[in-house]
Structure 1
Amino acid sequence: MTTPLIHARPVERRQVAALPWRHGPDGIEIMLVTSRETRRWVTPKGGRMTGLSDAESAAQEALEEAGIEGVVGDAPLGTFRYLKILKRRAPRWCVVAVHALEVRVEHETWHEQAERERVWISRDEAVRRVDEPELKALIAAFEGQALTARAR
């Protein structure tokens, strides 16, 4: 008698992201940054940080990757999945909780400045530039409202 194969779903890595935004002259503007290895346009994101809430972790990623600070929403806007592709390791699925970050401070220099580009663009252009369909939908639906938020 053979044992049936059990197909376990691979463990997805949980991450957090900031959706940096501001009111521009023509409406909502979104900041995107380039990823370090593939140079795709993405939102600042990374792993959850010990001792910080998910919202605080997202704000910290925005500071490190884009040199921005502001008011971050406590509740996520939603989540998206993407396949993280690294040069020296196997691809891995990640699930990312996205928190709105109304940008109040934009530093001229920041930690990952030499590794990334950052750009302010319209919401429609941000939707065109990101690759992940679920992130496109979150950005397209975003109206710039801050729910329960904290300064970070």
Structure 2
Amino acid sequence: MGSRLISGDALATSLLISLDQPRSTRCHPLPHAAPILVSEPPSTPCEATERQYAAIPVRIRDGHLQVMLITSRETRRWVVPKGWPEKKLNARGVAANEAFEEAGLIGTIHKKPLGTFHYFKVMPSGKRLPCAVDAYLFEVERELEDWPEKHQRERRWVSPSQAALMVAEGGLVSILLSLASMAVDEEG
């Protein structure tokens, strides 16, 4: 019998699972949970030349974990908020700032990334730029009605498993499936 996911306004009141421990001891309160490191295998054809930082926005609703996806501006694919390094912000700051600018979210970003995924950024010139993206769990506390890119993007809350079906990047799919497996295990 698995642990139940505790409902509440803050994801910090829920339980997440550290997969590197035996089942009987692997449930931890979220602030103390070991990060789940998921990344594309080293054999990936993507030799990343650029680094980006992403937020994986999450919340608990009706006792279930949800992830927010947004559409990209040009291709309208489902993605997570992400952006380029900025001189005045560290990696976590960039990820949190992108969650605000691209999705209108305010919240708490975790200190360590959940994992890294790779993709090709298609530049206006048509050039495909290989990127490695460090993805940080972002616990949503507020969802704004108005935000900088509101008229350029769509946003949607879905289950982690549904999110994994909606995104195109294999490494991001792996990260989302790790969240989905934790949520299913916890719901028993």
Aligned partner of 2:73 in structure 1 is 36
CA-CA distance at 1:10 after TM superposition: 6.0
What is the RMSD of the two structures over their aligned residues, measured on CA atoms?
1.6
Greater per-residue helix proportion = 2
Give TM-score scaled by structure 1 length: 0.84
CA distance in 1, matches of 2:49, 2:64: 35
Is this contact kept in 2: 1:67–1:109, CA < 8 A?
A: yes
Q: Which runs of 4+ in 1 moved over 2 A?
A: 86-89
Q: Which runs of 5+ in 2 are unaligned?
A: 1-45, 184-188
Q: Which runs of 5+ in 1 are unaligned?
A: 1-8, 145-152
SS in structure 1 of the partner of residue 96 of structure 2: helix
Q: Which of 147, 160, 172 is residue 110 of structure 1 equivalent to?
A: 147
Aligned partner of 2:112 in structure 1 is 75
Aligned partner of 1:20 in structure 2 is 57
Greater per-residue strand proportion = 1
Matches within 5 A, 1:73-152: 73-142=110-179, 143=182
CA distance in 2, matches of 1:107, 1:15: 24
Letter in 2 for 1:28: L
CA distance in 1, matches of 2:170, 2:159: 17
1:63 aligns with 2:92: no
Give TM-score scaled by structure 2 length: 0.69
CA-CA distance at 1:69 after TM superposition: 0.9
Identity score, percent: 40
CA-CA distance at 1:89 after TM superposition: 3.6
